Amino acid sequence: MKAMSAIRVIFVCVGNSCRSQMAQGLFNHLASAYGVDGRADSAGTRPEGHVSPEAIEVMAERGIDIAHHTSDRVDPQKLMDYQYVISMGCADRDVCPAAFPGDARDWGVRDPKGHAIETFREVRDEIEQRVRELLGALTGGA
């Protein structure tokens, strides 16, 4: 298999407090186990300025600490630095960037904000499955 240069991924959602934060944490935690030299970041179109305590809690259940993450705004010029830009499912179509450079994907993950902790766990598990599929594809696997 041909060696790959470091992969840069950014996960984008509206508030950058739940879904994209969980995806970033999962990608960075799992990448080396898949043999992927890569790093993920996250951003929001309308960042809330904090990471959801529920997102922090359900990620800690998987041994992943996202408590130190920051809630950041999407910088359209910096998107050029990424090979993959993955929208978690923008509910606000007026501010969600419609086209990204590189490989752009929309996972359409529901927003757990305002729901019970069990919904956060379900969303985390869905994101984990999708991150694992992405990592597998990056290595020529599943």
126: helix, strand or coil:
helix
| Annotated active-site residue in 10, 12, 13, 58 | 13
Q: How many other CB atoms sit within 10 Å of the CB of residue 19?
A: 31
Q: Where are the beta strands (DSSP E) in the chain?
A: 7-13, 38-44, 84-87, 103-106
Q: How many other CB atoms sit within 10 Å of the CB of residue 60?
A: 13
> Cβ(6)–Cβ(36) under 8 Å?
no
71: helix, strand or coil:
coil
| Annotated active-site residue in 26, 55, 58, 90 | 90
Distance CA 31, CA 1 (A): 17
| Annotated active-site residue in 96, 127, 131, 134 | 96
24: helix, strand or coil:
helix
Asked about 18 being catalytic, the answer comes back as no
Residue type, 95: V
Q: Which residues are catalytic?
A: 13, 90, 96
